[in-house]
Amino acid sequence: MKKIFLLAVLASGLSFGQSKKVVSSDVHWWGYKVAKTESSSHDGTVKVKSGNMIMKGNELVGGDFVLDMNSINATDLSGEYQGKLNGHLKNGDFFEVEKFPTASFKITSVKKNNDKVYNKLVTGNLTVKGKTSPVSFPAKVAYNKGVVSLESNKFSFDRQKFDVAYKSTMKDVFVKDDIDMLVKVTAK
């Protein structure tokens, strides 16, 4: 009877998948003024606080990531201007990090993508400022010797769906709704 129970526990673990803990990450963002050009943009990083990727055999089937919004940092500026923009991004004009210190992404599906480099289409629920909306992006997913890596192609999401809005309506029209992101995550 104990053998049957042990076999059932092992089988259920295989059916749900094996969790791999995120050990490194690089999340890069781009925000744009109305004219979407490099000269009218800012870019930077945000750190992954924690995360897991769920593997079933050699395939990524799920996962979740928590972003530390206090770590949001504009990397295209330095000194006083960088400090001002970082403060601006963290305050009530945009991400309200005192009230919402984290954002999250939960993978809901991973499908084959007909791209030779970005072989998967990852879909999930992005939660920012307590609001959740689906986001999909093409990604290169690889699994080798117990290590899984996910690298997205650059993708966009609409900040307005998450109430990430410049609180002055006149100023908000000068900022594009789309935020671009590039995500690299490794788990083992």
Q: What is the pLDDT of residue 110?
A: 98
Establish if 181 belongs to a structural domain. Answer: yes
Q: What is the pLDDT of residue 1?
A: 53
Establish if 10 belongs to a structural domain. Answer: no
Going residue by residue through the chain, which has 188 residues, state the pLDDT in tens, using 9 for 90 and above. 554 444 444 444 445 689 999 999 999 999 988 765 555 789 999 999 999 999 999 999 999 999 999 999 999 999 999 999 999 899 988 899 999 999 999 999 999 999 999 999 999 999 999 999 999 999 999 999 999 999 999 999 999 899 887 755 445 447 788 999 999 999 99
3-state class (DSSP) for residue 88: helix
Establish if 128 belongs to a structural domain. Answer: yes
**CATH number reported for the structural domain that contains residue 74 in this entry:** 2.40.128.110
How far apart are alpha carbons 23 and 50 in whole angstroms? 9
Establish if 2 belongs to a structural domain. Answer: no
Q: How many domains does the chain have?
A: 1
Stated pTM of the model: 0.85
Establish if 95 belongs to a structural domain. Answer: yes
CB 72 within 8 A of CB 95: yes
28 lies in which domain range?
16-185
Q: What is the pLDDT of residue 11?
A: 45
Establish if 8 belongs to a structural domain. Answer: no
Chain Cα centroid distance, residue 73: 15
Chain Cα centroid distance, residue 148: 16
Establish if 37 belongs to a structural domain. Answer: yes
Q: Residue holding tokens 């690089």? A: 26
CA count, 13 A, side-chain hemisphere, 101: 2
